[in-house]
Structure 1
Amino acid sequence: MKPNYRQIAEQIIENIGGKENVEQAAHCVTRLRLTLKNQELVDQEALLEVPLVKGAFLNAGVYQIVIGAGDVDRVYAEFIQLTGLQATTIADVKSSGAAKMNPFQKLIKVFSDVFMPIIPAIIVAGLLMGINNLFGIEFGGKTMIDRYPNLQGLWDLINMMANTAFVFLPALVGWSATKRFGGSEILGIVMGLMLVHPDLLNAWNYGQSALKGEIPTFNILGLFEIEKVGYQGQILPVLAAAYVLSTIERWLKQRVPNAIQLLVVPITTITLTGFLALAVIGPVTRQVGDWITIGVVNTFEAVPLLGALLFGALYAPLVITGMHHMFIAVDLQLIGQSGTTFIWPMIAISNIAQGSATLAMLFLAKNVNDKNMASTSALSAYFGITEPAMFGVNLRFKYPFYAALVGSAIASAFIAVSGVLAPAIGVGGLPAFISIVPGSILSFIVGMVIAIIVPVACTFLFHYVSTKRAKKAALNKAA
């Protein structure tokens, strides 16, 4: 039976506080994205009962209603007609929602806006590194390359492609961050590439030169010297430099006549930013990055069990708030400085746990639509996309979400104590094992099994307890 899109739109409007409560509305492939005047007017439970609505949540000041591909655009068309609003873009809605966020939420949004566009490149690099890991696994004391030397050339090629995104990470971040801060993306790329120029020492060569006391420098007019140090794999230096670059460029564009802007603005912006980046911004932010890395590593080394339990239990709730994006920067900082990260494997475990709890609902749900939603959402979560599982199933029924947190915490604790590390960020789901350091793959697979069995078992257990309590409450009410 064809859905009545107009009626669905009417019910949505009624349950979000009426058309007077809506400031702007847009849609993406699967969701309505709204900025509301008063979030407290939303009747969440009634909204989730509306046909086609699979979930609803607030993120970064934008209220999002999950409807699904193919239906959302038709519901949106009726929604716009009924509310009398003008059609707007997602960017407009995000900007409107951002105005309602506190400073900390705005900071988290900056991380999200900067890193989300470059995630595909980072994941590709992680997957290619994972394929290389398979070549390095020992069987009977020999790796595949030892057994088949002809694979060496293929291994070298894949390794080169895998390292590209990490070697030129400052250029990727420079492009995305400069765009986010309102500057010219091409200048951001140039600035990022400058920070990894071959004339600048990488971390290994810098360490060797420091031991010898022979660090090369730029002698600036005999007044002072700037060390020739690069920032390969660094996040904070390029983020700060992108902000400075964008600020300088915007300031110049407001004051330089249009006729000579092309000649004056780019060269002045790059020269000033380059000087500040190498002389001040780079050294200061590198030290801050070192402190952050040392702090995170020391905390987990001191109390790995407690730290992993907390991370495993809290990561999914952080996804709801959008705060999880900041861990991308921490992961990349760890990889850039130590070559591995212990955080990303726990993120993958959390995703698997959410998918497993959703999978259990495939067998427990009574409604056919809920079963269909559970099956597709579980598959999505197993390949790293957890939003449909979390918002469409687990949070709706509540106890699957709690079951996933229990499984994630236990599995994360196990892999942390086992010392599981990843050399890159890959697909945060079942394929994640190929992106784990070869010596830790077996321990990670055991963690994956825990993240599957425990959430499924807990979901069945919590369902039984919940059903029993509901029946008891009904009997008491009848009596």
Structure 2
Amino acid sequence: MNYKKSAENIIQAIGGEENIDAMAHCATRLRLVLNDESKVQEKQLSEMDVVKGTFSTGGQYQIIIGSGTVNKVFAAMEQITGKEASTSSEVKEQGNKNMNPFQRFVKMLSDIFVPIIPAIVAGGLLMGINNILTAPGIFYDKQSLIQVHDQFKGLAEMINIFANAPFTLLPILIGFSASKRFGGNPFLGAALGMILVHPELMSAYDYPKALEAGKSIPHWDLFGLKINQVGYQGQVLPMLVASYILATIEKGLRKVVPTVLDNLVTPLVSILTTAFVTFLFVGPLTRTLGYWLSDGLTWLYEFGGVIGGLIFGLLYAPIVITGIHHSFIAVETQLIADSTKTGGSFIFPIATMSNVAQGAAAIAAFVIVKNNKKLKGVASAAGISSLLGITEPAMFGVNLKLKYPFIGAIIGSGIGSAYVALFKVKAIALGTAGLPGFISISGAHSGWLHYGIGMVITFIVTFGVTYSLSFKKKYREVK
């Protein structure tokens, strides 16, 4: 392959050297910040053998090239343009400037929650294993595995503690990540999280029960104020707001406190002020808002039923295109942390139906397309990848490009989502939203069975609709 020629063609197709603001690459993609994305010649890029797909997200225009090739094309681009490679953080920063306020907010949530996903996934999957050991009716009729084989009871109890730890102590994880994102000291954020889950406080899980039972809530009497001694275990919104306040106070103090006193005064005043304000009014207010959010979303899913699932399933893929789906991580985390009340997250099963639909549409395109070997190759690999939970190659490299597979995927996703909504399928863990996602699904109400049936329905409907649409006159030229 002539990498220099490929680089020249790419530069020409994206509007020339002057249209490149910043550029970098990852393992498979060119990550570009362009001054004007409207100058990009999508058709010209799609016809290049070296280009496997393109998409725009987070203020970056990304060109999928492939492992082992992207670095060589990028090196040629550097040589031609004379521009030095930017770091990933620099490209992100430049890309953020091209976002509107809402996009920046979604990106902020993504930056906070993506780093802590491994801990949440680990805890969630351990919940799935605990569910296998303790749920009745999986291996034995009306009995759980540990009821029949009590030698596994100790193991189940250990796994239950391991699984709950990331959710019970969730404010510590969020405090670290959010404070870092807001420009503060992440260890101060973690310390604030520890304060909010201190074992001397009434547990957040016991607080609603105490209110319902009419029991008195422990409190501090301070300056005529009664401040509840209630923790924030498993809470998302209170810790997010508290971390922002903490980082803001810390940054403000560092500007005015003399250097010789900075290490003493700044942490002390930041933690003391933020913790006091949080327990006084920020925490109770945001706790209530968090309850309303999780209860409201659960109500929509429970009572919206088939119609609610259908609408969400139809809209999920378009939401992914906008990037708004990254904000769902915060909502899912709260729903799963409150799974004893909410039953888990309804977003995960619907995300799975959407991912399976994108994969089925790409596989259908592989069968339908006859005269484009490059597209067939991308469609086959991307289709399998999407079934396993990675949808970008299928969505941006095949389905949106051909249009009719994307339409088929939306319809299939809607039908499959309506089915899982009908049977109230929910996830008790974050994980891979695709074929491997069974372990994340609650076994209650035959959740695993209906999750699997939902994927089968989604695949069949998507494939059938996509194949049928391919016979319409306006789509025939893509064959």
Q: Which has the higher mean CA deviation after the structures are superposed, 131-140 or 229-238?
A: 131-140
Q: CA deviation at 1:153?
A: 1.8
**1:363 corresponds to 2:361:** no
> The residue matched to 2:22 in structure 1 has which SS?
strand
Hey, what's the Cα distance between the residues in 2 that align with 1:170 and 1:380? Answer: 33
Deviations 1:97-128 (A, max 9, x none): 11121111111111111111112222222222
Change (3 A) 1:155 1:378: farther
In structure 1, give the amino acid aligned to 2:124: G
Q: CA deviation at 1:137?
A: 4.6
Q: Which has the higher mean CA deviation after the structures are superposed, 459-468 or 75-84?
A: 459-468
Q: CA deviation at 1:22?
A: 0.8
Hey, what's the Cα distance between the residues in 2 that align with 1:63 and 1:170? Answer: 34
User: 1:251 maps to what in 2?
Assistant: 252
User: 1:349 maps to what in 2?
Assistant: 353
User: 2:39 maps to what in 1?
Assistant: 41
Hey, what's the Cα distance between the residues in 1 that align with 2:201 and 2:110? Answer: 29
In structure 1, give the amino acid aligned to 2:74: Y
Q: Which has the higher mean CA deviation after the structures are superposed, 58-67 or 142-151?
A: 142-151
**1:114 corresponds to 2:118:** no
Deviations 1:145-174 (A, max 9, x none): 222211212222222222222112111111
User: 1:292 maps to what in 2?
Assistant: 293
Q: CA deviation at 1:52?
A: 1.9
In structure 1, give the amino acid aligned to 2:364: A
User: 1:323 maps to what in 2?
Assistant: 324
8 Å contact 1:354–1:389 — kept in the other structure? yes
The within-5 A match list for 1:170-181 is: 170-181=171-182
8 Å contact 2:438–2:451 — kept in the other structure? yes
Q: CA deviation at 1:270?
A: 1.0
Deviations 1:408-440 (A, max 9, x none): 100101111111122222221112222222122
8 Å contact 1:218–1:225 — kept in the other structure? yes
Unaligned runs of at least 5 residues, structure 1:
475-479
8 Å contact 1:133–1:435 — kept in the other structure? no
In structure 2, give the amino acid aligned to 1:218: W
Give the percent of matched residue pairs that are identical in Structure 1 and Structure 2: 45
**When the two structures are aligned, how many residues end up with a matched partner?**
469
Deviations 1:347-382 (A, max 9, x none): 122112212222223333434433332333223222
Hey, what's the Cα distance between the residues in 2 that align with 1:288 and 1:468? Answer: 48
Match of 1:130 among 128, 137, 157: 128
8 Å contact 1:178–1:246 — kept in the other structure? yes
8 Å contact 1:331–1:341 — kept in the other structure? yes
8 Å contact 1:137–1:438 — kept in the other structure? no
> The residue matched to 1:421 in structure 2 has which SS?
coil
**1:23 corresponds to 2:21:** yes
8 Å contact 1:26–1:90 — kept in the other structure? yes
8 Å contact 2:30–2:63 — kept in the other structure? yes
Match of 1:448 among 448, 451, 455: 455
Q: CA deviation at 1:467?
A: 7.5
User: 1:462 maps to what in 2?
Assistant: 469
Hey, what's the Cα distance between the residues in 1 that align with 2:311 and 2:452? Answer: 21
User: 2:415 maps to what in 1?
Assistant: 410
Hey, what's the Cα distance between the residues in 2 that align with 1:444 and 1:466? Answer: 36
Hey, what's the Cα distance between the residues in 2 that align with 1:33 and 1:449? Answer: 35
Match of 1:384 among 362, 382, 389: 389
Hey, what's the Cα distance between the residues in 1 that align with 2:233 and 2:205? Answer: 10
8 Å contact 1:168–1:232 — kept in the other structure? yes
In structure 2, give the amino acid aligned to 1:459: T
User: 1:62 maps to what in 2?
Assistant: 60
Hey, what's the Cα distance between the residues in 2 that align with 1:278 and 1:153? Answer: 37
> The residue matched to 1:34 in structure 2 has which SS?
strand
8 Å contact 1:33–1:62 — kept in the other structure? yes
8 Å contact 1:125–1:426 — kept in the other structure? no
Q: CA deviation at 1:447?
A: 0.7
Q: Which has the higher mean CA deviation after the structures are superposed, 96-105 or 389-398?
A: 389-398
In structure 1, give the amino acid aligned to 2:219: T
Q: CA deviation at 1:245?
A: 0.7
Hey, what's the Cα distance between the residues in 1 that align with 2:297 and 2:67? Answer: 40
Q: CA deviation at 1:293?
A: 2.2
> The residue matched to 1:213 in structure 2 has which SS?
coil
Hey, what's the Cα distance between the residues in 2 that align with 1:435 and 1:94? Answer: 31
Change (3 A) 1:159 1:381: farther
If the length of structure 2 is used for normalisation, what is the TM-score?
A: 0.93
If the length of structure 1 is used for normalisation, what is the TM-score?
A: 0.93
Hey, what's the Cα distance between the residues in 1 that align with 2:452 and 2:225? Answer: 54
Q: CA deviation at 1:470?
A: 4.0
8 Å contact 2:119–2:166 — kept in the other structure? yes
In structure 2, give the amino acid aligned to 1:163: N
User: 1:229 maps to what in 2?
Assistant: 230
8 Å contact 2:470–2:476 — kept in the other structure? no
Hey, what's the Cα distance between the residues in 2 that align with 1:321 and 1:236? Answer: 23
Q: Which has the higher mean CA deviation after the structures are superposed, 190-199 or 329-338?
A: 329-338
User: 1:421 maps to what in 2?
Assistant: 426
In structure 1, give the amino acid aligned to 2:410: L
Deviations 1:299-324 (A, max 9, x none): 33343222211211111111121110
> The residue matched to 1:29 in structure 2 has which SS?
coil
Unaligned runs of at least 5 residues, structure 2:
none
Hey, what's the Cα distance between the residues in 1 that align with 2:355 and 2:136? Answer: 25
Hey, what's the Cα distance between the residues in 1 that align with 2:306 and 2:209? Answer: 35
Q: CA deviation at 1:21?
A: 0.7
Hey, what's the Cα distance between the residues in 2 that align with 1:274 and 1:311? Answer: 38
> The residue matched to 2:205 in structure 1 has which SS?
helix
User: 1:217 maps to what in 2?
Assistant: 219
Hey, what's the Cα distance between the residues in 2 that align with 1:410 and 1:372? Answer: 28
8 Å contact 2:23–2:91 — kept in the other structure? yes
Hey, what's the Cα distance between the residues in 1 that align with 2:262 and 2:24? Answer: 36
> The residue matched to 2:470 in structure 1 has which SS?
helix
Q: CA deviation at 1:192?
A: 1.5
8 Å contact 1:54–1:391 — kept in the other structure? no
8 Å contact 2:359–2:383 — kept in the other structure? yes
User: 1:301 maps to what in 2?
Assistant: 302
8 Å contact 2:313–2:410 — kept in the other structure? yes
> The residue matched to 1:25 in structure 2 has which SS?
strand
Hey, what's the Cα distance between the residues in 1 that align with 2:215 and 2:477? Answer: 73
| Superposition CA RMSD, Å | 1.9
Q: CA deviation at 1:142?
A: 2.1
Q: CA deviation at 1:450?
A: 0.9
Q: CA deviation at 1:325?
A: 0.9
Q: Which has the higher mean CA deviation after the structures are superposed, 454-463 or 441-450?
A: 454-463
Change (3 A) 1:365 1:121: farther
